[in-house]
Structure formats: C-alpha cells, structure tokens
Homo-oligomer: A and B are copies of this chain.
Amino acid sequence: MPRIPAAAREQARRRLLEAGAEHIARDGLERASVDAIAIAAGYAKGTFYNYFESKEQLFGEVIAEGARRAVAHYARAGERGTTRQRLLALAAADVRVLQEEEAFTQVVIREAMAFRAETYPLIVGRLEPFLGKIVAVLKAGRAAGEVRRGLPAERQALLFVGMLALMYIQYWGNGGAWPDLDDVPRLVVGMFLDGQGAGGGGGGRRR
C-alpha cells in the first residue's frame, strides 16, 4: 500500500467533500451540480465518480462529515459546572461548529428541517453523539433538581438542539443581522431553562 497515494486520495476526497458541502448549502441538493462541485474542487467532472458513487452518496457523506466534525468540538465541552453552565458550554461548542463549518452545518440543519422520512432518522442518528452529551447533562440536572421532569430527557435534548437550529435559521434568514452568534448560547439556554414567562430565574443579563 503506497503511503502517499492513500494520503493524496484522501485529500482529493476531502476537497470534493468541502466543495460539495458549499454547493449543497448554497443551492440545495437538487440544484447543486456535480460538474460545478468537481470544478470547484479543482477536478474534472469524471473524477468525482472516482470518489463518490453518486450525488446522493456525497450528500450522505457531507452530513456524516458534518456530524463528525461537530462531535470533535463537543468532546471537550459540558464536563463541569452547574447544568446551566454545562449547557452553555455545549451550546457554545455548537456555535463554534457553525462558525468553522458553516456549509456542513447548514446542510445538516436544512435537511433536518426538511423532515423527510428518508433522511430524518439518518440525521438524528448522526446527531446522536451530541444529543447523548446533552441527555447526560440533562439527566444530571434532573437528579440535581435543576431540570424539570415533565418530558423524557431525550425529548428535552431534541428541543434544545431544535432551539439552537431556530436561532441559526433566524441568523441565516436575515443575513446575519440577528442574533449575534456570540449571544446564541445565552439566548438559547435562557429560553430553554427559564422560558419567557415572568416567573423564572434571571433571564438574560450580561453576556
């Protein structure tokens, strides 16, 4: 097994994946063209098929890769502190993923929101590691009396990531005008734990 070729091969694949993510994020799966992706990656059309079986397979890989990259960020977050602090850390990690891998994140979120029976479980599956972390934090929080028990922790975790996604959608939808990405963790965690009713804890002070 030649060592360099394997690396070279991996690099070509990576470039195609990145280009694919960008095009699919910008144009959607249908409109993104294999030709344009290959060229953006610096290859000719035919080369694409040396690395991916089809456009759909690329799409799956983009989602997988997006999830993989996210997990790397989550790994070091949410370990310590109160439930609120740990959730803030997880949300901040997610925002960092968005900032560093915007195209991949957009593809994942857009597809998640398309709630197509074919891809929805796939995506939930991919998000599993992140969700798992959140669930762990929430369960600890429930044990500590910091989190309500009305819903299963797994549902709560889905709501949490859903609220993150809502923020991103707003952010993308109005061209970055609101919210400031740095505010997102505080906003989401505040919303998630306290709600907008007047009863709860201290909503959103400082940042």
Contact = CB atoms under 8 A, between A and B. Distances in A.
Interface of A: 28, 30-31, 84, 110, 112-115, 117, 120-121, 124, 141, 145-151, 155-156, 158-159, 162-163, 165-166, 169-170, 172-175, 178, 187, 190-207
A120 B173 contact: yes
A200 B206 CA distance: 8
Contacts of A28: 30, 114
A176 B158 CA distance: 16
A116 to B, nearest CB: 8
Given A120-B173, A159-B191, A204 B196 contact: no
Nearest to A197: B193
19 contacts: A115-B169, A115-B172, A115-B173, A120-B173, A145-B198, A148-B197, A148-B198, A150-B190, A150-B196, A151-B187, A159-B191, A162-B163, A162-B169, A163-B163, A192-B195, A192-B196, A194-B199, A199-B200, A201-B204
Nearest to A110: B114
